[in-house]
């Protein structure tokens, strides 16, 4: 069973040192979405506007298999509060 690594990039990099054994890439995509949701929930607030977050999923050789992008973008008509 392949091992997948879920690395977070949000201005800094948090590297998954252990990885997770999963049956296939489809399972890794599901885990990545849940993982991103957990990150946002644990943050306790929405990410700052115009700040990109990425969850890069790699294999055991460090090859990026896919990237899940998380971003909030204010529309031009939205007034910023800060």
32 vs 16: CA distance, rounded Å: 12
Question: pTM of the prediction?
Answer: 0.80
- Residues 23-48 as b or e (16 or more Cβ within 10 Å = b): eeeeebbebbeebbeebeeeeeeeee
Show me where the domains of the chain are located.
3-71
Query: Which residue matches tokens 């607030």?
Result: 45
Q: How confident is the model at residue 4 (pLDDT cuts 50, 70, 90)?
A: very high
Q: What angle do CA 17, 2, 4 make, to 5 degrees?
A: 35
Q: Three-class SS of residue 43?
A: helix
**DSSP strand pairing (13-14 vs 64-71):** unpaired
Q: Give residue-wise pLDDT tens across range 29-78.
A: 999 999 988 888 887 666 656 667 899 999 999 999 999 988 776 677 76
């Amino acid at each position: 069973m392949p091992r997948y690594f879920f690395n977070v990039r949000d201005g800094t990099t948090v590297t998954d040192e252990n990885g997770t054994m999963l049956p296939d890439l489809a399972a890794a995509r599901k885990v990545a979405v849940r993982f991103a949701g957990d990150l946002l929930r644990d943050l306790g607030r929405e990410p700052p506007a115009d700040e990109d977050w990425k969850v890069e999923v790699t294999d055991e050789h460090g090859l990026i298999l896919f990237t899940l992008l998380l971003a909030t973008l204010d529309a031009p008509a939205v007034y910023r509060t800060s």
